[in-house]
Structure 1
Amino acid sequence: MSSAGWKQDTDEPARNGKLLEAIRLALRAQQGQADVGSPELGKMLDSFSNMGFSTSQIMQLFSLQPKLAPQTWLMVVSELVLLGLDANSTLSILQKSPEVLRMTAQQLRHRAEYLRRLGLGEGSLQRVVNSYPGIFSLPWKKIDAVVQVFKKCLFTVAQVTEILRSCPSVLLEEPHDLEYKFQYAYFRMGVNHRAMVKSGLFRTPLAEIKNRHIFLERLGLYQTPDKKGQTQVVNPKLKEIIRVSQGDFLTQLAHSSLEEFTVFKKLLAREEEEVIASEETDSASNGEGERSDSK
């Protein structure tokens, strides 16, 4: 055996020994409880290594929540790895969403099964979890409420799955906000379900959609279709409106300057504020009238 190979073999136990001692001392200091036995902890560290975690990654894992029992770490990490996540993805998830560490193995399995039933199979599930790790700890009712909104809006099962794959952050939004965004695109802009999904509608803030749409409309470059779906102008596709940069939107579609668009957005915001104020005044007046009638 070469001297280089011999040195690598002898250095490995030394590194493992140092790692074991460092984590053992950290746990004892942080947990304020009985020392974790070296043999037991050593087996756990071997398990992490077998799952593909490097020495530095193992140290990072234990530094996230030092007071957490090592057995809990092993259970949570094992469940995430069984989902097909690699060491980097697992570490990233726990760093971004440490509340996952408070979940049981059964809770993690049930959540994974539920997401698969929504169509997030292998590969898709990993991508969603990587971009939004909080999906594991999000309340069941919150996920269900969002899914029900899409069903109410008559998106197909495949379309709902595609929305969740491409934009898992919709799970954080209020259901009524998602429904309003759909209604605006469907009734106000005349966009069909397929175009909404393909364009990434639900990844775009509603304010940006309205600003660009109404700007084009007032320039005579967009028109709400009539009952037969007809327009007197050729409307640009939704993805051409919302998927391009602001600069490309202004030069390629609106043929306007940034200054014009900036002024327009300020005026539109003022218009909307006036509408809201007027509605609040009308509501208050109606309330006063009802009280008077009751007297």
Structure 2
Amino acid sequence: MLSRITRSFLRSRLITFRGYSTIETKEVLLKENENKGIPFVRKITEELEKKDIKYILPIHDNELMLKIAKPFDYLTKIGMKPEFILDACLYDPLFMKVMVKNGDLVIKILDILVEMTCMTYENAIRLFTVYKDDLLAVDSNSIISRLQVFINVGINEGEELCKVVCKCPVILFSGDPMQSTILLESLANFFTRNQIKAIVKNSPQIIFKNFEEIEEKYEYIYFLMGIESEEFKFCKTWVDMPLDEIIKRHEFLMKCGRYVTPDPKRLQLQKENPPLYRILDTNDNIFATQVGGVTVEEWYAYETLHEKMKELEKKDKPFERIKPSMRKAYERRIKKGLPKNDFIIE
């Protein structure tokens, strides 16, 4: 029989979290005198002993036992069902351990998650049990600083911030908030504030990326593909996709006649190209058949050819990089270098 917490997990937006626990649990009914204080803590340890998991508590030291029970009582006083807390401890016995050893810190972390993201305490516990070692290894104030990085770019506290955290929980304990802020501020060279907000909502892991790599991909997509900055906010994959993969897909579509580099001076002759998200966010099968108009086998054959050509060419740079300030000069140079055909009178 699935426990209460297990069933809740199946309905939870945090369902993608991995490795919650491998211990099977059965529903345990609590008596009225077992749902708080020292009796509640003892009930948890008794149920764990039935699973051959033994915690030795100072049961003869009433003052110390009250201190151990304090964080559990805090959770029940704010409205959490004691059955949920019991299930959490039985489903992940290490949660019981950290509550006993670092209960005050656990409560502080849970409070931060609830106050800043409007996450329920139940969901906050689900998240915490998956990342407890990482969350306990950082200062609780640094968690606030990391979340503040996202608030500073326009992500609202509450539901918006909750979605960002659920999408990429490691933002709570990884990275340097100062470096993350610098990277996001640097994106203002390419994007508007609203575009940056949309990109961060789609791909919060961008704060961990190297700015040079982000810049290089932006330059290729913007200058070589002729795609405007507005399209980046609808694409979820460009942040993580290697530049070589972007180039490969772009060149393949051009060879298939499915992509023509836009000419700003000849808009009336412009072919409608697939949007960036269709080019990069689709899997191999959809990309080949629906975007490229070929079979997936032909796409795989091109991938093999692309790798062989890359080995033969051994370029230091995958493409000629152009800074935004040099775009017009670059376009003039390309236009000037085009071969001129003789004018023949027939």
Which one of the candidate residues 204, 217, 232 is aligned to 1:196?
232
Aligned to 1:124: 160
Which residues in structure 2 correspond to 1:1-295 (within 5 Å)?
A: 9=32, 12=35, 17-19=42-44, 26=55, 37-51=64-78, 52=80, 54-58=85-89, 60=92, 62-63=95-96, 65=98, 68-83=101-116, 84-94=118-128, 95-96=130-131, 98-121=133-156, 122-137=158-173, 138-153=175-190, 155-203=191-239, 205-206=241-242, 207-228=244-265, 230=267, 233-276=271-314
Q: 4+ residue stretches of structure 1 with deviation over 6 A? A: 20-23
How many Å separate the matches in 1 of 2:299 and 2:272?
21
Please state how far the C-alpha of 1:8 moved relative to its aligned partner: 5.1
Structure 1 counterpart SS, 2:155: coil
Please state how far the C-alpha of 1:67 moved relative to its aligned partner: 8.4
How many Å separate the matches in 2 of 1:168 and 1:214?
28
Structure 2 counterpart SS, 1:37: helix
Please state how far the C-alpha of 1:132 moved relative to its aligned partner: 1.4
Structure 2 counterpart SS, 1:170: helix
Please state how far the C-alpha of 1:192 moved relative to its aligned partner: 0.6
TM-score, L = length of structure 1: 0.76
Q: Which has the higher helix share?
A: 1
Unaligned residue ranges in structure 2 (runs of 5+): 1-29, 318-346
Please state how far the C-alpha of 1:135 moved relative to its aligned partner: 1.1
Aligned to 2:336: none
Q: 1:39 to 1:257 in 2, by over 3 A?
A: same
Q: 1:57 to 1:253 in 2, by over 3 A?
A: same
Unaligned residue ranges in structure 1 (runs of 5+): 1-6, 280-295
How many Å separate the matches in 2 of 1:223 and 1:189?
8
Aligned to 1:287: none
Q: 1:75 to 1:182 in 2, by over 3 A?
A: same
Task: Kindly provide the amino acid, as one letter, of the partner of residue 286 in structure 2.
Answer: D
Please state how far the C-alpha of 1:131 moved relative to its aligned partner: 1.8
Q: 1:123 to 1:254 in 2, by over 3 A?
A: same
The alignment-based identity, stated in percent, is 20
8 A contact 2:187–2:196 mirrored in 1: yes
Residue deviations 1:106-158 (CA, integer Å, cap 9, x gap):
333333333212212121111111121221222123312431331122x1111
8 A contact 2:146–2:172 mirrored in 1: yes
Q: 1:47 to 1:261 in 2, by over 3 A?
A: same
How many Å separate the matches in 2 of 1:143 and 1:232?
39
Aligned to 1:292: none
8 A contact 2:288–2:294 mirrored in 1: yes
Task: Kindly provide the amino acid, as one letter, of the partner of residue 279 in structure 2.
Answer: I
Aligned to 2:334: none
How many Å separate the matches in 2 of 1:114 and 1:253?
37
Residue deviations 1:169-192 (CA, integer Å, cap 9, x gap):
222222111111111110111111
Q: 1:77 to 1:147 in 2, by over 3 A?
A: same
TM-score, L = length of structure 2: 0.66
How many Å separate the matches in 2 of 1:199 and 1:97?
32
Greater CA drift, 207-216 or 156-165: 207-216
8 A contact 2:99–2:106 mirrored in 1: no
Structure 2 counterpart SS, 1:234: coil
